[in-house]
Structure formats: C-alpha cells, structure tokens
C-alpha cells in the first residue's frame, strides 16, 4: 500500500504542468506532533508522518499522507495505528497564501494484539510559511474518523501536527 501511495504521489508530481517559476507547486514533507484518539481507555500520544503532493493549478491540490501513532496503554495494552491514503486540498492565494484545507480518505492498520484494517476519512487544515524559496515550516490540524472493524469499535482522532515541507 505504501508503494501505491508513493507511486500516486510521484505520478501527481510528474503530471503537474509548469506554472510560474516563483511559486512552488509540489511538496514532500514530514509531520510530527500529538494525536488525541477518543477510543475507550486511550490517551494522547505522539504522532509522526509523511505527506507528498502537488497543486493542479493555482489552488487545487492532490496528494498522499501516512500518519502513525503508537502507545501501549495501561488499561488495554497495545493500541497502535497507521493511517494512510489520498487527500484533496484547496490552497488559498492573495492575503491568505500558505493557508489550505482539504479532505482525506484511506485505509488504516490498527494493532491491538490483533490487526484490523478499517477505512479512515477526515478533514484537514493547515498553514505553510515559506522560510526560504523551497522550505516551509507550518502546521496542520486534522480530524480523522476510523470505521468499525468488528470487534474493534469505530473511533476518531484529533491531531495537532507541525510540518516541514520541501517545495519544488
């Protein structure tokens, strides 16, 4: 699945037409921060991830994401999850350059001793501040819903992530 996401991101990058040279239109980056799942007997945990994508014009973007959060809980033991999939985003211009929002959909790998693979979907918003021509520092907030996969109940997670992206 990771290879499929990488291939999707690479094809999006390759298919992007050349736009004005001063505005980067494709990115690859790392994410890190906190995840707050609402599953029973779970607590806040660290989250890490990767993102890649490209703008398909001045405002519309398509990309891929991978997020992982692992923690052994005192009451229920192992509760690790990976979220990966595709995202569609809208990137503002003018006074709001750097701000964006979008939607995500994909699949998950939940490990509680047994492994489950439910769907995930959610919304995301963020801001990317260009430090230099091709490097940005920013952040994103996303809310992701993870579907039920019996006997695992559905749950959601609210994530607060810092982002370092390389633009080209």
CA neighbor of 135 nearest in space, from 43, 16, 29, 39: 29
Q: How far apart are CA 57 and CA 127, in angstroms?
A: 18
Query: 2-167: what CATH class?
Result: mainly beta
Mean pLDDT, rounded, for 2-27: 54
Q: Tens of pLDDT along 85-98?
A: 999 999 999 899 99
Rounded to the nearest 10°, the torsion over CA 119, 122, 127, 130 is 20
User: Which stretch of 11-15, 88-92, 102-106, 148-152 has the lowest confidence by average pLDDT?
Assistant: 11-15
Mean pLDDT, rounded, for 68-80: 86
Q: How far apart are CA 59 and CA 157, in angstroms?
A: 27
For 30, 65, 117, 137, 166, the CA distances from 158, given in Å and listed in that order, are 18, 15, 19, 20, 25
């Amino acid at each position: 699945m990771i290879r499929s996401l990488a291939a999707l991101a690479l094809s999006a990058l390759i298919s992007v037409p050349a736009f004005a040279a001063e505005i980067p239109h494709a990115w690859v980056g790392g994410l890190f921060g906190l995840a707050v799942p609402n599953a029973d007997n779970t607590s806040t945990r660290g989250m890490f991830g990767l993102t890649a994508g490209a703008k398909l014009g001045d405002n519309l973007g398509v990309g891929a994401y991978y997020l992982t959060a692992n923690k052994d809980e005192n009451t229920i033991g192992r509760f690790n999850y990976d979220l990966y999939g595709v995202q569609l985003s809208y990137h503002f211009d003018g006074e709001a350059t750097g701000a964006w929002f979008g939607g995500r959909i994909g699949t998950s790998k939940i490990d509680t001793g047994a492994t489950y693979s439910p769907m995930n979907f959610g919304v995301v918003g963020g801001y990317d501040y260009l430090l230099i021509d091709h490097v940005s520092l920013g952040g994103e907030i996303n809310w992701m819903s993870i579907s039920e996969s019996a006997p695992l109940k559905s749950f959601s997670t609210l994530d607060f992530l810092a982002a370092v992206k390389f633009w080209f």
